[in-house]
Structure 1
């Protein structure tokens, strides 16, 4: 049993909402084609060009392939050339086309194909590709040290972290989201193929079952603990929230990041078997939400605002002070919000009959120092959920602004 007040376990009516993660934000997506909020089906393409990169405020797709690369070339010009090739391939693939000019079968039969071919005949499936640059890229290899954002400072160690270096960090990340897992994997595979000899894969993560809604048109999903997740996320339609909490503003510094955002990733393994043996009443107290309809304890509907001052018949708070919803709520952190778009993962078992499963947390924000770091510090110190989870990987990347047109490329504002 956790430290949560057990007097509430019996007699406290269940009325709650899904998992409390720090709020999320969204606006219109950026890809060539119809705006994502107006897409007729999950097979449609998402616009590639625009003010911001696609895949941040785009309505969250069902599948993820996230990959982090180490740059192995020492030639700055070669790295820039690769980023230009990546951008051209991404512009094609997000529209449902092959990654190269001649495609999987149109080139010379004695030469390797321009595309790996596993997405032949498949639609675009809402594919988005989002790129970010890690702190390690700004060492002395490419002359970028003076352009490193202060907000890209390495994340601190949080209490309870059991991070594995081999699945953390990296120079460049690519987030591929789509409604078809094969489309997402195809995109990452072809970027890795194009980058051969210039980058090497450091780590990657497959995800399914989005754990956040980033548009009011989407129902709130559930995490692998069975609770609705991302209820408090700010949506695509909330432009003011996005401006204040997600997009780097001119003057935030440096200039090349204006219109971009910072992404934090955390692989959070859940002790599934232990959680499954925990009583429903305790599960709801830990989250501070009802497991069924997803309302905050003491409320009736999913989107009701939690009342942290409400007391039960025993005089104790209806929502415990150490409940996840309370610790992660914007009112606990000077109004700070995150744009969360994480995914569930199941990576087999650990050899002892326990599932290697949990949440691949993804959160975009204007500045990790004022958003993710204080929120996670509070959760790491006090959250009763920590008895059932452990953070095993971590990443931080600066995602530059969107692409203007076909003459632009990922990182142009950085390498110019």
Structure 2
């Protein structure tokens, strides 16, 4: 669990603009085609959908195996007002779902591409995913005809569980894993090995890692965030159906109760240890910091990743039962902040900058040398910061009756080294006694998508 700290809110950039959601009433009515038109050959044709969805039951099994439910956000549904009706643009300079104000719910999925998939097939998959994501994020069904408008003698183009639900602020973010560029044997299946970012390497092993291969890694990833869990889950379910035969779900994670705010308009949430988390997370309004620490710059390599970022995903199990027996004072010492206000133990309020030099009556630092706040602070990590979009999770209980719960950590950074430096510094974190890292993955997140293009298109363009 990594918590970033900066120099306090006093130094936040002023005059910054933040992408805001567009309500469905502002968006206005749209025809059945929904998202901006694409060339006919690039879209998901009805015939193509028959091929992809013909094994309807098999598609359902893929979703069910991932713990997926299904829903479709349809413009103009019942109660289509308020935050649930928010609509974020899909097309733009950067992908949505990064600096977008963090939504309340998450469904994250990692995929392995099929051994039989070739370059043309991969481009077709990314094109169809782009078309579908553009529609879904605007509150439309995944394809024209949807759940009930097609033939009675063919599987529906959309699974239909969210008919009548609004867009709920859905954002869909795509990423490419190291294995997409070359397989385990080093084969360049898609002709993109030479264009792999040099920084896109599997993360090194960290002290205390107990990683489970089945919930780590992946060639492709999709992050779906929304204010309605059914909307987020539906997006992953339907995108998984589109991928049938070309990419299979490797692992997925449901999340609730965001553990970081990504906008100054949001209050700081709490993690399952009961503490406010991500008080000084990078905010969208800090445009200079976002440009410096989050987005891949034009001067970075490779050029096709400009405007993108690197995504680190870590499934961190919290040993809840042990933590719940720790005295309040010790909990606060381990974190370095008060449990109620979230203020640093050196004094002040939640947004007061921690004073790591301040000592108490015994001349010992008020914020201990193994406190999480101290070890994660930028001043302890060469100024490294990340933008976090983590979520709480509870996945039932284990065979011993303990909660399988914790933090699904997600962070975006200009370089994976930013995360690596902080995580290595946290080896001395007193909280490690109550944490167990069981899943890990890294992805290169392409820049934004222009209308008429598909996500990651620059990767496949001739240099």
TM-score (norm 2): 0.82
Contact 1:104 1:117 in 2 (8 A): yes
Pick from 414, 434, 452: which aligns with 1:388?
Answer: 434
Q: Following the alignment from structure 1 to structure 2, what is the Cα–Cα distance between the partners of residues 23 and 58?
A: 20
| Inter-CA distance 393–164: structure 2 relative to 1 (3 Å threshold) | same
Which residue number in structure 2 is paired with residue 356 of structure 1?
A: 404
Consecutive unaligned residues of structure 2, counting only runs of 5 or more, are 7-11, 27-80, 183-187
Partner SS, residue 146 of structure 2: coil
Contact 1:68 1:172 in 2 (8 A): yes
Which residue number in structure 1 is paired with residue 58 of structure 2?
A: none
Partner SS, residue 111 of structure 1: coil
CA deviations over 1:255-301 (Å, ceiling 9, x no partner): 11000000000000000000000000000000000000000002131
Partner SS, residue 85 of structure 2: coil
Q: Following the alignment from structure 2 to structure 1, what is the Cα–Cα distance between the partners of residues 163 and 308?
A: 32
Which residue number in structure 1 is paired with residue 129 of structure 2?
A: 86
Contact 1:294 1:301 in 2 (8 A): yes
Are 2:165 and 1:175 aligned?
no
Pick from 147, 164, 180: which aligns with 1:121?
Answer: 164
Q: Following the alignment from structure 1 to structure 2, what is the Cα–Cα distance between the partners of residues 83 and 29?
A: 25
Q: How far 1:151 sits from its partner (Å)?
A: 1.4
Q: How far 1:42 sits from its partner (Å)?
A: 3.3
Contact 1:295 1:302 in 2 (8 A): yes
Cα RMSD (Å): 1.8
Contact 2:314 2:408 in 1 (8 A): yes
* Number of residue pairs the alignment of both structures matches: 392
Q: Following the alignment from structure 2 to structure 1, what is the Cα–Cα distance between the partners of residues 2 and 252?
A: 26
Q: How does 1:168-247 map to 2 (within 5 A)?
A: 168-247=216-295
Which residue number in structure 2 is paired with residue 5 of structure 1?
A: none
CA deviations over 1:177-228 (Å, ceiling 9, x no partner): 0000000011000000011000000000000000000111100000000000
Which structure exhibits the higher relative contact order, with contacts defined as CA atoms closer than 8 Å and separated by 6 or more residues?
A: 1
Pick from 105, 115, 121: which aligns with 2:148?
Answer: 105
CA deviations over 1:341-363 (Å, ceiling 9, x no partner): 10000000002110000000000
Q: How does 1:67-78 map to 2 (within 5 A)?
A: 67-72=109-114, 73-78=116-121
| Inter-CA distance 216–120: structure 2 relative to 1 (3 Å threshold) | same
Contact 2:397 2:403 in 1 (8 A): yes
Q: How far 1:112 sits from its partner (Å)?
A: 1.1
TM-score (norm 1): 0.91
Which residue number in structure 2 is paired with residue 42 of structure 1?
A: 84
Q: How far 1:414 sits from its partner (Å)?
A: 0.9
Partner SS, residue 42 of structure 1: helix
Q: Following the alignment from structure 1 to structure 2, what is the Cα–Cα distance between the partners of residues 253 and 29?
A: 27
